[in-house]
Chain A
Amino acid sequence: MICDDARSALLGGEAVAQFDAHLAGCTDCQAVLPELEHLRRSLADPALWEESSRTADDLVAAIGHRRHVQSMPGSRRRWPIGVAAVLVFAVGVSALAIVRHHPADWTVPLVGAESALGATGSVAGWNVDGGNRLVLETSGLAAAPPGEVYELWFMSGDEAFSAGTFTDPGRVQLMIGVARREYPNVLVTLESADGDPAPSATWVLWSTWDEEGR
């Protein structure tokens, strides 16, 4: 009992004169004195007392967005890589016919997501047979770290279709073999070489999310 009171007083930084006799003779208390003192100092650490300014609502909102791109059952989630590659190649060949200075058929503004809050961008598209030729322009986004790439995705609900990867995000030309109207939402992620075909959790740019665009 007196051990508990003595230790409480020590941890609280109180004057412990009344416990001096006990502490002098109690080997158990003497053994924990240094650690109690360490704990007392630790209790002043701001990390223990300050709190994140982000709320549970912020988290649940982020989860709401993620739910559209997480691994979900269903064969339409993503086209087989081989089919996609053939489509991308085919569209790429036909896109060569596009006159360089034609205005884009559509443009989607992008804003920085939580991993790149200061970044902005846009993706412009030219309709071609079987898909779209794309030009992605970004600002405030550093080159992808070694071993990682950026990936541009077109989304419809929980379906994600990759338009390709890149490392230098300044101005990127890509092709995609799907109609923009079928995949109204646009996302740029940072991907590691983990073999996971789904978009990663590291979102860097996204369009204004169209929840109705499923």
Chain B
Amino acid sequence: MIPGRVRRRFRAGDPDAVRAFYEEFQRAVFAVTFRALGDRGLAEEAVQATFLQAWQASSRYDPERDPAPWLYAIARRAAIDVYRRERRHDESGDQPEMAALPETFESTWEAWEIRLSLDRLTGEERAVVRAIHFLGMSQREAAEFLSLPIGTIKSRSHRAHRRLAEMLSHLEEASA
């Protein structure tokens, strides 16, 4: 969570406050741009553009409000700009501004929410979730991989997934 004094410094354009915003949100911004664009290099470019644009627009940011939705909107827009620029280069005869965005852009909010929720887990919990989902390991394989007793893996996995289910329940309800 970004403290209020850092938010106010961000609004004043303080680069150190921008750094704090970057540390807090860059993984979620990257999740949005990578899911949307499907290309690491382009996603990294869009991440940089997101925070530069946020810094340039910082005087319009209200420090009393949670910056997350505001940053998400900038990140999605930055990804759209990169997508349309690449499309222009690939298909110069088209009208890129009129072209529909690919389906990958439809799930960027979900990626943003999930990544923010993962960031709220402890590092130990996140390591277990990563091993199970991203690396595709069983709990026993995760125990070996992380050099932890299987009981520890089970309890961390249970706690982490319970917290994730709670934090992401609004996504479940929205789709139910």
Contact = CB atoms under 8 A, between A and B. Distances in A.
A60 B130 contact: no
Given A5-B162, A47-B31, A58 B171 contact: no
Nearest to A32: B172
Given A7-B165, A8-B162, A56-B23, A43 B134 contact: yes
Interface string A1-35: 00011011101111000000000000000011011
B48 A114 contact: yes
Interface string B53-81: 10110000000000000000000000000
Interface string A45-79: 11111111110101110111010001000000000
A36 interface: yes
A35 B175 contact: yes
Q: Is the interface of B mostly helix, strand, loop or mixed?
A: helix
Q: Please classify how large the interface on chain B is, using the bins under 10, 10 to 19, 20 to 34, 35 or more.
A: 35 or more
Most buried by B among A42, A114, A146: A42
Interface string B81-111: 0000100110000000000000000010011
Interface of B: 15-16, 18-19, 22-23, 26-27, 30-31, 34-35, 40, 43-45, 47-49, 51-53, 55-56, 85, 88-89, 107, 110-111, 114-115, 118, 129-130, 132-134, 136, 139, 157-158, 160-162, 164-166, 168-169, 171-173, 175-176
